[in-house]
Amino acid sequence: MKGKATLQGVPVYQPGKPLEEVKREYGLDEVIKLASNENPLGCSPNVWESLQAERDFFALYPEGEAPLLKEKLAAHLQIEPQRLMFGNGSDEIIQMIGRTFLEPGDETVMADITFPRYKTQTLIEGGKAVEVPLIEGVHDLEGMAAALNERTRIVWICNPNNPTGTMISGEELTSFMKKVPPHVLVVLDEAYEEYVVDSNYPDGIHEVLKDPRVIVLRTFSKIYGLAAFRIGYGVMDPRLIQEMNRVREPFNVNRLAQRAAVAGLEDQDFVKKCRDTNREGLALFEKQLNKWNLSYFPSQGNFILMDTERDANEVFQALLAKGMIIRSGVPLGYPTHIRVTIGTREQNLRFLTELAQILDKPAPEDVDRSHE
Ligand SMILES: Cc1ncc(COP(=O)(O)O)c(C=O)c1O
């Protein structure tokens, strides 16, 4: 039996290849996964300890509203707790936004190429995804504003954008917001916000406080290193949360996830360490790619989209055989690019060494190591 008619065009999500599968397939003992923008440093050591406190409560449902986490996060973000809504990953917040606000035939506007869940959720609801091509990897906000019409309900802005890593500035966002009609919600997906170092990056939460049409999405999956727990959040006008609570599953964020997020939040030294390590890693990649004369998009995230000037699927396969999992740009719409998550320094050097061999480039031994 087939699913609903609106589902027939909905693609099934293709995750990065799991580590265990690659080990089995290629008979490798050691595999490095730089494919899903996970945190190579893991999570705060405090998380494990905090989870012990939950041992006696496995038989109990969690509190659906995550009150302790809500209070701590509200204090951290300096906002009122009633502006926060949690999800089983920010993926689930995207789902709840679609469930709540989209009717069949509604349009949502997004970049082409960007994070795929915006389109998928729009299609699931029987809506139409209007995709506006990036300009040199950056959101074309003018083009996106021009695509808004009376059928548009949501515009999705991924900042920094996955997979290009590029960002839009505060100034660009402010001028875009002036062109957004009152019936359109603006979702600012800031999954990689904590990695951003560019001072022109807009403060999405400030936009939320100014404008009830804006929703900011953040996650504990990236810099907090808690992807396994599935927990993300939205910051928005409490009236939007009230509507979205109608579609929220009663216990959508599990007990361990709530506890782990509190522990992660309390360790901002770990967050800083991850941001610094990521910056050093990005600088290493950029320096080496410049030496090889290969182009890449300037990234504010924890990943980099680089042009290998070869068939990206072939580069992907060759790396896989060496025990390195990355993302081919082919399904992302960049046939010669690969997207690589920034790893530890050791992982980054190993990756660049393997890539040099595959692309016939000089080995990265001549990378500046003076700061080691
Ligand atoms: C831009 C963007 N938004 C949302 C997500 C989903 O994150 P979560 O793990 O919180 O569901 C990701 C994950 O890769 C992402 O890249």
Provide CB contacts within 8 A for 213, sequence distance 6+. Answer: 180, 182, 184, 185, 186
Q: Has residue 15 got a pLDDT over 80? A: no
Does residue 170 lie in a domain region? yes
Residue-wise pLDDT tens digits, 232-282: 999 999 999 999 999 999 999 999 999 999 999 999 999 999 999 999 999
Helix, strand, coil fractions of the chain, as percent rounded to 5: 40, 15, 45
User: Atom 15 of ligand 1 has which residue's CA nearest to it?
Assistant: 191
- Which of 243, 265, 287 is where one domain is finished? 265
Atom in ligand 1 nearest the alpha carbon of residue 115: 1
CA of residue 368 to ligand 1 center, whole Å: 33
The answer to whether the Cα torsion of 131, 132, 135, 139 is positive or negative is negative
Does residue 364 lie in a domain region? no
User: What is the model's pLDDT at position 368?
Assistant: 52
Categorize the per-residue pLDDT at 369 as very low, low, confident or very high, splitting at 50, 70 and 90: low
CA-nearest of 94, 64, 304 to 217 is 94
Same domain? For 29 and 79 the reply is no
Tell me which residues have their CB closer than 6 angstroms to ligand 1: 37, 89-91, 115, 158, 162, 189, 191, 219, 221, 227, 232
User: What is the model's pLDDT at position 313?
Assistant: 97
Categorize the per-residue pLDDT at 11 as very low, low, confident or very high, splitting at 50, 70 and 90: confident
> Residue 324: which H helix or E strand, with range?
strand 324-325
Atom in ligand 1 nearest the alpha carbon of residue 88: 11
Position with higher pLDDT, 8 vs 51: 51
Same domain? For 346 and 312 the reply is yes
Q: Has residue 212 got a pLDDT over 90? A: yes
CA of residue 220 to ligand 1 center, whole Å: 9
User: Is the Cβ–Cβ distance between 213 and 185 less than 8 Å?
Assistant: yes
Cis peptide before 160 (omega within 30 of 0): yes
Domain span at residue 191 reads 46-265
Ligand 1 pocket mutation, candidates 162, 193, 229, 332, criterion most atoms within 8 A of CB: 162
Query: DSSP string covering 24-46, please?
Result: HHHT-S--EE-SS---TT-S-TH
Atom in ligand 1 nearest the alpha carbon of residue 222: 9
Residue-wise pLDDT tens digits, 132-151: 999 999 999 999 999 999 99
User: Atom 13 of ligand 1 has which residue's CA nearest to it?
Assistant: 191
User: Atom 8 of ligand 1 has which residue's CA nearest to it?
Assistant: 89
Place of tokens 């029987």: 126
**Helical pair 90-101 and 117-124, crossing angle rounded to 10 deg:** 30
- The token pair at 100 is 């709540």
Same domain? For 169 and 224 the reply is yes
User: Is the Cβ–Cβ distance between 49 and 228 less than 8 Å?
Assistant: no
What's the domain count of the chain? 2
Mean pLDDT of 18-35: 90
Residue-wise pLDDT tens digits, 141-194: 999 999 999 999 999 999 999 999 999 999 999 999 999 999 999 999 999 999
- Which of 204, 238, 265 is where one domain is finished? 265
User: What is the model's pLDDT at position 22?
Assistant: 87
Ligand 1 pocket mutation, candidates 166, 219, 223, criterion most atoms within 8 A of CB: 219
Same domain? For 50 and 36 the reply is no
User: What is the model's pLDDT at position 13?
Assistant: 83
Same domain? For 170 and 272 the reply is no
Same domain? For 180 and 320 the reply is no
Does residue 366 lie in a domain region? no
Position with higher pLDDT, 9 vs 108: 108
User: What is the model's pLDDT at position 372?
Assistant: 47
Categorize the per-residue pLDDT at 2 as very low, low, confident or very high, splitting at 50, 70 and 90: confident
User: What is the model's pLDDT at position 335?
Assistant: 97
Q: Has residue 210 got a pLDDT over 60? A: yes
- Rounded alpha-carbon distances, angstroms, from residue 35 to 12, 199, 323, 367: 18, 27, 12, 23
Same domain? For 14 and 99 the reply is no
Does residue 368 lie in a domain region? no
Same domain? For 140 and 246 the reply is yes
Ligand 1 pocket mutation, candidates 33, 36, 37, 90, criterion most atoms within 8 A of CB: 90
Does residue 365 lie in a domain region? no
User: What is the model's pLDDT at position 19?
Assistant: 83
Does residue 188 lie in a domain region? yes
- How far is residue 73's CA from residue 86's CA, in Å, rounded to a whole number? 11
User: What is the model's pLDDT at position 9?
Assistant: 86
Instruction: Identify the CATH number of the domain in which residue 51 sits.
Output: 3.40.640.10
As a whole-number percent, the residues of the chain with pLDDT over 70 amount to 98
Does residue 239 lie in a domain region? yes
Per the prediction, the chain carries an average pLDDT of 95
Query: DSSP string covering 218-243, please?
Result: EESSSTT--GGG--EEEE--HHHHHH
Same domain? For 121 and 183 the reply is yes
- Which of 246, 265, 284 is where one domain is finished? 265
User: Atom 7 of ligand 1 has which residue's CA nearest to it?
Assistant: 90
User: What is the model's pLDDT at position 176?
Assistant: 98
CA of residue 297 to ligand 1 center, whole Å: 19
Instruction: Identify the CATH number of the domain in which residue 317 sits.
Output: 3.90.1150.10
Does residue 363 lie in a domain region? no
Same domain? For 125 and 212 the reply is yes
Same domain? For 9 and 32 the reply is yes
User: What is the model's pLDDT at position 261?
Assistant: 98
Minimum mean pLDDT among 255-259, 304-308, 330-334: which range?
330-334
User: What is the model's pLDDT at position 14?
Assistant: 77
Same domain? For 12 and 93 the reply is no
